[in-house]
Structure 1
């Protein structure tokens, strides 16, 4: 007998997979602007939802950057305390060793190498996971359906990961081109001043474009990571709740 590829609400696996991803996106970026016409909805996604999606990643990076700035004076005070404890002159030693730079480097290290638990708190939100898990349970009536939906999400996630990889490679090539152009036309004494000025303006313009797309890619990656982790933990929670419910029912049956 042929296996049915429908979920609890009679939709195909592909449709339910897309609906789960859209639900996760809505939970992460907020309410979506909807339209009954597919072409209008695609335009709304490109004009409204994509900027919202990127702003979530920018917000995450700004929060991390702000936390790093907050740690700079904290590390400065720690360095001063170490100097006092060791019997040195804090003002002279920190000035001689450029203490602000040392404090900045220590703060950067604290931000770049956080504890795994802090990294998790900066990604998926528990309330989003719970809401998505409830939606998954409403469309997937059993463990087999949940497994099928997980496979569908994994297939779409691989496509998104390949796209991000290609964009990163393209940005790397563009950066190499900018560095080469700057070394050949800006940071060399073999060209005239007029040519150097013209090349400098072009390289600077290319750098601004590169910076714009680079920030966009970083923000996109951050938000994609949040959406992916929300989906992964929602599937785990949905499966766990079903397992607990099945175990509880079995225990009740045995008790009777």
Structure 2
């Protein structure tokens, strides 16, 4: 019999597999901790839902450690949304008004970049869950405790469990392209005033590497800040020869 050939899965499948393991372990650990350790079905539900909403049903790009940093900054926003949703859910009209306000506000989160945009659906789900029965503002403490523990477990899983391969930062790609452009200029300044084939190939590879389709989503300079705008202009200058 012939030997067994190893099957190498595409990077997308491998990343999805690692992500599913993290979400399953974080959500399951929080759920069973509160259900059997403390006998609280409310906290268990919110611990499980927090992990699923912010990881399974959201798309926060980047490595596990990058997602963990984003999740830590989102914890206060989750507290606010759960609290508002809990108190507004006691009336249909107030729950609907809150849904409109929360959805309208979270729709503008995308201007903060791909990570903020990816977290938007999960944040909206943190408001939606309290809108399901039972409508019990008295259980707010259990809800917040469950969600907090679920998010904490998810942060630990993202940061330390099955780490993702690191990605090259966009600023480093831009620096390499700028260095390559300088080399091209130096070569054109001396006889025979032409680029060698090797230099042309390296320049084309550096310019192509700055295209958004070739850059990992988390590393694209898509935010509104000055640094992201400067990186985007640098990339356009190196890839197109001009800033547009």
TM-score range, shorter chain: 0.3 to 0.5
Q: Normalising by structure 2, what TM-score?
A: 0.34
Name the structure, 1 or 2, with higher relative contact order (CA <8 Å, separation 6+): 1
More helix by share: 1
TM-score by length of 1: 0.33
> Which one has the largest radius of gyration?
1
